[in-house]
Amino acid sequence: MRAAVVGASGYTGGELLRLLLGHPQATVVACGAQRRVGERVTSVHPGLIELAGMQFVDCATALATECDVVFLALPHGASGTLTLPPAVVVDLSADHRLRSASAWQEYYPSAPEWQPAWPYGLPELPGARAVLRTARRIANPGCYPTAVACALRPACDAGLITGGAVTVVAASGTSGAGRTASEDLLATEVMGAMRAYRAAGGHQHTPEMEQSLPGLTVLFTPMLAPMPRGILAVATAPLASGRSAAGGAQPIDQDEVERIYATAYADEPFIHLLPRGQWPTTSAVLGTNCVHLAVAVEPRTATLTCIAAIDNLGKGAAGQAVQNANIALGLPETAGLPRAAVSP
């Protein structure tokens, strides 16, 4: 797998390079950047010593390099202006995720006009792998939607939750905001503090979540946590009233929910359903492509709570992009993707 990374100077670009360096069948052939052109890759990513002899090139040069896959780790709205090669292209921006032009215009008002959606690169969604195996263009999902879709889709498909609003509160590390300097991301502002932002449905990932959860409306509140990377998402939804059984309707209980999730994810290499009573933590997925899940039924209010932890730069971005490239190029899906976290 000869790979070019465009947008290689950012946090996600750096994580892509790190994963590709550990991939048994990958070779990095170009590192494209909008800034830093001509600088050594290790001047920005000093930990990637295997790339010490490589420099950042401009995006057009990177795209013209002969390769099998191009990863686009550029800001939203940038990919639509590029001349893309015949290689497999995995776009990590939002440019080709949304099927609705009106949703794009509402949630990305300052970005260029809507671009047609590409196959959506969340392999764990029903039927997704079959599409991705033949795809030449793949829209890599956002970090929050990845966590929320993995947390709720089995319940949605099984009819455990039907219609109505789902409440999601999720905290992300600061790397989710990218590398561009911002006053509210200074260490002095972030350390020792936790805050909500873009609440009341204003976050751009909201329509993407609803696109992956048919029939549901998402009330999403994102939060900024004082950590470099990781996402912890907590989703709550009212349970369906009951199910018909031999003895009549019966309430949905913890055992049934756990069975549904265990069956849905039994063959998924990167999704781990935790034992009852154990709760996801971001430190347990640090540096991995994994999703740790826990589900709980609260009988008093007939509410389902689903909790997911991911690394926002891993399964939420670069790891998932490599996973998608593996599928599209016919390589082992897990190649180059860690499942053991860095600890402590």
Cβ partners under 8 Å of residue 298, min gap 6: 304, 305
Exposure of 151 in the CB half-sphere (CA atoms within 13 A): 35
Which candidate, 243, 229, 255, 265, places its Cα nearest to that of 152?
265
Distance of CA 3 to CAs 6, 28, 184, 245, 248, Å?
Answer: 10, 5, 34, 53, 57
Exposure of 125 in the CB half-sphere (CA atoms within 13 A): 21
Catalytic residue among 143, 156, 290, 306: 143
Which candidate, 6, 273, 305, places its Cα nearest to that of 169?
305
Cβ partners under 8 Å of residue 140, min gap 6: 90, 91, 92, 121, 317, 320, 321, 324
C-alpha span between 171 and 229 (Å, rounded): 10
Would residue 306 show up in a list of annotated catalytic residues for this protein?
no
Q: What is the dihedral of CA 35, 39, 42, 46, to 10 degrees?
A: -60
**Which residue carries 């470099």 as its tokens?**
228
Exposure of 154 in the CB half-sphere (CA atoms within 13 A): 25
Residues assigned a catalytic role: 143
